[in-house]
A and B are shown apart, each in its own frame.
Chain A
Amino acid sequence: MTIWWQRLRPEQIRELSLVVLIGVALLIFSSQIENFLTARTFNRIAASVAIVGMVAIGQTLVVLTRNIDLSVGSIVGFTAYFVGSQLAANNAMGAPAAVLLAIAVGGGMGLVNGVIVAYGRVPAIITTLGTLAIYRMLLINYANARTVTVDSLPAWVVELSRQTLFSIGDFAVRPLMVVTLAAVVIFQLVLIYTIFGRRLYAIGSNPEAARFAGLPAQRIVLTAFTLCGALAGLAGFLFLARFGTITAVAGQGIELESVAAVVVGGVNTFGGSGTVLGAFLGAFLIDLLGQGLLRWLGISEFWRDALLGLLILLAVASDAVILGWLRRLWQARTEVNHGN
């Protein structure tokens, strides 16, 4: 006599509960706020989730290996500014070249993080805290108090964030969101169906066992950081496309938002479990709450950071309680020999 939900694994329950939470939040906000359930709200959320979600994918890869990347905000800012100024200087540069440039610059920065963490054996939190400051400094130096402006960019860049590929009712599907959704699907599949994905989980859940199994742990961690940087670079390009105006403080705070998305999305901070889809849903829920509370209670933008912090703490604390509870439930059902 199995009930359908008992057949789910803990990660799937987590993803489902995020969907339920999103539903509940939508219900509450739509009943409390006039004109909340409109295409405008969603387009706004979609535009910002496209960026944070992209970064959260990379962050998931890194967190799965028991590491963390705090430098992603600076990478987003640097690539947005760097690619923006290149495009401003050379309006003839095409889209593929610009995107590749963003990915390469971000990937290079991620590679530096990865080398220091995997081969220099410096803890990730220290390494990336250092590069967070250093990459930001590079940007400030490079920008030299100038700003990339919308007018200086080729028209197609700015168009990316306004263009509508197709519409579902009033809801416009924009290129930025499509790119991020595609990345979510691709990396979700990578995690489930590739050797690299499996190894990420193995290294995160037991690094020593992974070494004994002959896995090239250092190379895998390096790859995770590089991919995280590359995705942050791509997010930097999306950032440029969305805002057009880029200053030296661009992307600040994205590290916090991406970590929040990952944690709320159910990725274990001790590595080894979680999914890209969960992290994306986490990013969505956070942005929805932010938008909703902003309009409902009229809280200020500054409260957003506090909200993020609160959500991170809640997610981690509830994880310990809820997941433990779920596991016991699941265990009782499977009736595995309990040992002693």
Chain B
Amino acid sequence: MQSRPVLEMREISRRFGSTQALDSVSLRLYPGEVHALLGENGAGKSTLIKIMTGVHQPDSGQILLDGRSVRIGSTLEAQRLGIAAIYQEPLMYPDLNVAENIFIAHANRGLWVNWERMYRDAEAILAQLDVRLDVRQPARGLSVAAQQTVEIARALSLQARVLIMDEPTAALSAHEVDQLFTIVQRLRDQGVAILFISHRLEEVFRIADHITVFRDGQLISSAPRSDVTPEQAIRDMAGRAIEQLFPRRNTVRDQVLVQVRDLGRTGVFSGISFDVHAGEVLGFAGLVGARRTDVGLALFGIAPADSGTVIIDGQEVRITTPAQAMRHGIAYVSEDRRGLGLSLPMSIAANITLSTLRRYLTPLGLVRRNAEIATAEAYRHRLSIRAPSVEVAVGQLSGGNQQKVMLSKWLNTRPRLLILDEPTRGIDVGAKAEVHQMIDDLAAEGIAIILISSDLPEVLAMSDRVLVMREGRFMGLFNRHEATQERILAAAMGQAATLDGKS
């Protein structure tokens, strides 16, 4: 199979200010091969992709396409050379239909749109991927997985020979990942060279033919999959050995803090019942579309429940606004840091105290900046937020550090029930371990935690009990010792009764 590489990056270097983002990195992509690229955030993966797609220019080094040296001056040029990229969040035109989205980059198909031909061509491309999707349907409302399929189809329509996939599975459920992998394998068989980037090791080891690890802008290792073990890959990424299992202490207390009975929101979810003890981590597992986030949003009053009861400390409460939820000691840390969590232009300190400013007032109603900064400094220290000062704008921090600021903001409301929605999505291995440690520490302080996560090993390792949902319905509640990947997946896919044998 080692024919000629379709794309070769030779000793590429690139510097941004004082950061050496890439340091003489070489990489070969062969047709019909899935090449996985691993590395923590900041390892240089994104920079390499941006050079491949013409967003950035290398300071030095050569790019060879079919053995010929090329210069990729813009994304348009990359497209013309047959290099396409799809990202974690697909770029869609929500008001255009599927076919239009596929052919959006085709500028010169004549003055008039030949709609029938476009629909036919779109269907042909989707058929090539073995995907069934109505090409006349607007992109708005498509699932992330479907949108990615449309993006892949767009790349195919441009005769892409190199397909870069940057964290394509981050927002997908396990089932959708399977479907995506089927498509990837199909593309590979058709001779497309695929560069696959993911934080999920199991996926990388499942799909990749070749695995390359970056760290701090340098290539650390590059070998066929059969020569690499996951432990080895992690060691290469981190430069040090990391325990794969998180140490969870037993922190569950007897006191039941929150009782939820038959909670529902019309058309979204229904019949959700559970208890959370003080000091307990209750995992919420399920595939995407399981509506776990909606339960979190209902408890936090963003999209209130319209049936069922919530009892906190033995008192029935009605929560219809976030302000009420906060008064009852509930905090919700959203997965969408940039969209829903943080005010990026504002400082770390201002973000942390935003929900709790009342505490920092002088009798005259003015904010005591010193007290505010002291609080922020305390959190910076406690969660080891890496920033030169707490007056730095949050927008300048890395994803992991933004996540910590967001956590600080909600911890500062002194919650008794903390809802964490995908707290480790898209952050690097090191920051992830820190977040896990924090969850354990918070539980030890007696805070009840609802952990919504699509990362099944994470849910299993961190939770004292795991609640499984599927399409808005309660599918089962498993104790720590009875929760296995197989059981939870089975429940999440609606096969609880047949596999479990108990219910």
Contacts and interface: CB of A to CB of B under 8 A. Distances in A.
Interface of A: 9, 189, 192-195, 198, 201-202, 205-206, 208-216, 268, 272-273, 327-328, 331-332, 334-340
Given A193-B366, A194-B365, A334-B392, A339 B399 contact: yes
Nearest to A196: B365
B397 A195 contact: no
A212 B44 contact: no
A215 B350 CA distance: 14
B326 interface: yes
A195 B358 contact: yes
B366 A340 contact: no
Contacts of B43: 340
B390 to A, nearest CB: 12
Contacts of B399: 339
Given A272-B346, A338-B21, A340-B41, 20 more contacts: A189-B366, A193-B367, A198-B357, A201-B350, A202-B343, A205-B344, A208-B340, A212-B302, A212-B332, A212-B334, A212-B341, A213-B409, A214-B322, A334-B387, A334-B396, A337-B398, A337-B401, A338-B398, A340-B39, A340-B47
Contacts of B345: 201, 205, 268, 272-273
A337 B350 CA distance: 20
A332 B396 CA distance: 10
B90 to A, nearest CB: 19
A337 B386 contact: yes
Contacts of A216: 323
4 A-B pairs with the lowest CB-CB distances in the bound complex, closest first: A339-B398, A214-B322, A214-B323, A332-B17
Contacts of B340: 208-209, 212
A211 B355 CA distance: 10
A212 B44 CA distance: 33
B501 interface: no
26 contacts: A194-B367, A195-B365, A198-B354, A202-B346, A202-B354, A205-B345, A206-B339, A206-B342, A208-B339, A209-B339, A209-B341, A209-B342, A213-B409, A214-B325, A214-B326, A216-B323, A272-B343, A327-B396, A336-B387, A336-B388, A338-B21, A339-B42, A339-B397, A340-B39, A340-B41, A340-B44
B350 A198 contact: yes
Nearest to B45: A340
B18 interface: yes
Contacts of B357: 195, 198
B46 interface: yes
Contacts, number: 114
A138 B366 CA distance: 39
A154 to B, nearest CB: 36
A165 to B, nearest CB: 28
The bracket for how many chain B residues form the interface is 35 or more
Nearest to B355: A213
Nearest to B338: A206
B19 interface: yes
Contacts of B365: 194-195
* Residue of A212, A331, A336 ringed by the most chain B CB atoms within 10 A: A212
* Residue of B332, B343, B365, B391 ringed by the most chain A CB atoms within 10 A: B343
Nearest to B391: A9
Contacts of A211: 302, 322
A192 B401 CA distance: 25
A212 B302 CA distance: 7
A210 B42 contact: no
B343 A339 contact: no
Given A337-B386, A338-B19, A195 B361 contact: yes
Contacts of B17: 328, 331-332
A269 to B, nearest CB: 13
Interface in B10-54: 16-19, 21, 39, 41-47
A205 B18 contact: no
Nearest to B327: A214
B321 interface: yes
Contact of A213 (B19, B322, B386, B396): B322
Contact of B16 (A214, A334, A338): A338
Interface string B378-419: 000000001111011000111101000000010000000000
Contacts of A214: 321-323, 325-326, 355
A177 to B, nearest CB: 26
A84 to B, nearest CB: 35
A323 to B, nearest CB: 10
B343 A336 contact: no
Contacts of B45: 340
Interface in B329-384: 332, 334, 339-346, 350, 354-355, 357-358, 361, 365-367, 369
A2 to B, nearest CB: 11
A338 B42 contact: yes
Nearest to B300: A212
A339 B394 CA distance: 13
Nearest to A273: B345
A216 B323 CA distance: 8
Contacts of B16: 338
